[in-house]
Copies of this chain bind each other. A is one copy, B any other.
Amino acid sequence: MESIIKGKPVADKISENLIKEVEELKAKGINPKLSIVRVGAKGGDLAYERGALKRCEKIGIITEVKEFPESITQEEYINELKKLNEDSSTHGILCFRPLPKHLSEEQIKYVISPEKDVDCFSPVNAAKVMEGDKSGYPPCTPTAVVEILKHYDVELSGKKVAVLGRSMVVGKPAAMLLLNENATVTICHSRTKDLATVTSEADVLVAAVGRARMVKENFVKEGAVVIDVGINVDEDGKLCGDVDTDAVKDKVSMITPVPAGVGSVTTSVLAKHIVKACKMQNNA
């Protein structure tokens, strides 16, 4: 049986629904718009930006990119962000992070309007993720994990889910979102003893630890569902996930590949958040 489950069908399905929603909004004279705020031109940021712009264009969401030089000051960055907060023509703001070291994320995260914060930069949205308050915007990547599991009809209620990794961008919010789906969630990390034993008890394993192919055959339960969030480059310069897919794919029932797995769903989630934000801001 082919266990590889790709992200594309999930992304396509989300996009398909959004295209209709955006058409309806446009018929009412409402034009959803995303503003991207980028400092400098890091390769990773540019790659994600290209994907996001392409996805938004396909769906009918207007986009703008505010690119600033690395020399931008804290005050200037905050002023630009405040302008976007107040600009009623834009509904979603995506700030590329991490910011250069001379800018204080610790201060800036309180400036972005929670209502426009489509990728969970604001503590208000982080708190909503923890509370299970669906009016907020969880980070796009862990939301994509849940979207994939739902798309492929993976039962979560009462199931044992192990989340490997405890970052604020993936691990912790993924744990909260899956808890919200009534899973029994175990959060594992670098300090976990007998890691393979712990993860191999899980019905669903979400790997988000950032170590190339560290999840081997003995880490997974027979028939488990594995979501590989990692994006790593191995010694040969090849893109790979946190899971040794070849070693694992015959043992599990489903596994997302890297590339073409979770990563291909995140921009659709971003678009979904923009449309939601646009609707809420327009009471539409």
Contacts and interface: CB of A to CB of B under 8 A. Distances in A.
Given A172-B176, A198-B184, A158 B127 contact: no
A130 interface: yes
A157 B191 CA distance: 7
A187 interface: yes
Interface in A154-199: 157-160, 166, 168, 172, 175-176, 179, 182, 184-189, 191-193, 198
Contacts of A127: 123-124, 126-127, 130
Contacts of A123: 123-124, 127-128, 131
How many copies of the shown chain assemble into the complex? 2
Nearest to A157: B191
A246 to B, nearest CB: 27
A184 B187 contact: yes
B193 A189 contact: no
A193 B182 CA distance: 10
Chain A contact residues: helix, strand, loop or mixed: mixed
Interface in A189-244: 189, 191-193, 198
Contact of A184 (B128, B131, B176, B192): B192
A182 B191 contact: yes
Nearest to A198: B184
Contact of A126 (B130, B160, B188): B130
Interface string A74-87: 00000000000000
B184 A189 contact: yes
A179 B193 CA distance: 13
Contacts of A110: 124
Nearest to A126: B127
Interface in A47-65: none
Contact of A131 (B124, B168, B179): B168
Given A184-B186, A187-B185, A158 B126 contact: no
A124 B198 CA distance: 32
Given A126-B130, A160-B198, 11 more contacts: A123-B123, A124-B124, A126-B131, A127-B130, A130-B130, A131-B168, A158-B191, A158-B193, A172-B176, A184-B186, A184-B191
6 contacts: A110-B124, A127-B130, A131-B168, A179-B189, A182-B189, A186-B187
The 3 closest A-B pairs by CB, nearest first: A123-B127, A126-B127, A186-B186
Interface of A: 110, 123-124, 126-131, 157-160, 166, 168, 172, 175-176, 179, 182, 184-189, 191-193, 198
